[in-house]
A = this chain, B = another copy of it.
Amino acid sequence: MPRLTPERREAKRAEIVAAARRCFSRDGFHQTSMPDIAAEAGVSAGAPYRYFAGKDEIILAIAGDAFRLVFAPIQELAAASAAPSVADLVTASLQALSAETVTDAAGHDVPVEELLRCAVQTWSELLRNDTAQAHALDGFESVRGSIADALRRGQAAGTVAPAVDPERGARVVMGLLHGFLLQRVAFGLTDTAAFTGDIRTLLPEG
């Protein structure tokens, strides 16, 4: 007879993740202590260890969330849209990240700003953690595949130049996304419209 129902367990785990995300966004991964997270979540110092093996596991959970949520819009668009141009893909993705919050798979609202601040920190972790890098690369390739498919449809429809290699072109699209996120979060350049506008100018259809 589990005292803790799976639903309640999941809810508490999500609270801890949300607390950690707030701390990480505010103070950084390495300036946040486990007691900080527990206090922010309003639980005891030992509680997070019943949901995560340690601090690294919390970081990885948030890293995964960040990756998925950042690329969810472009994946949806790549799947849904008949024949998007490159600029369409980038624009739609960045506009989705202009909202205050996005909703994760479990239905929780996640502040975009927090998410992106964690995402940038995540990149540093990938340098030192081969497992994480492998997972991240899997995710990256999956998103790249979706985008490549969309580019192929775009080529068929004439909205993407035929000379573009879809796999490699998809990599450029992801580079543009990451590049913009970095400018927004680390350099304070938040003007999404200006960025997407010039992408449209620089990357002509067909």
Contacts and interface: CB of A to CB of B under 8 A. Distances in A.
A121 interface: yes
Nearest to A30: B30
Interface stretch (A74-82, A96-104, A190-198): A190-198
Interface residues of A, number: 49
A127 B136 contact: no
Contacts of A175: 175-176, 178-180, 182-183, 195
A187 B121 contact: no
A163 interface: yes
A131 interface: no
A50 B144 CA distance: 48
A183 B139 CA distance: 13
A193 to B, nearest CB: 10
A204 to B, nearest CB: 7
Interface of A: 27-31, 86, 117, 120-121, 123-124, 126-128, 133, 136-137, 140, 161, 163-165, 168-169, 171-172, 174-180, 182-183, 185-189, 194-195, 197-199, 201-204
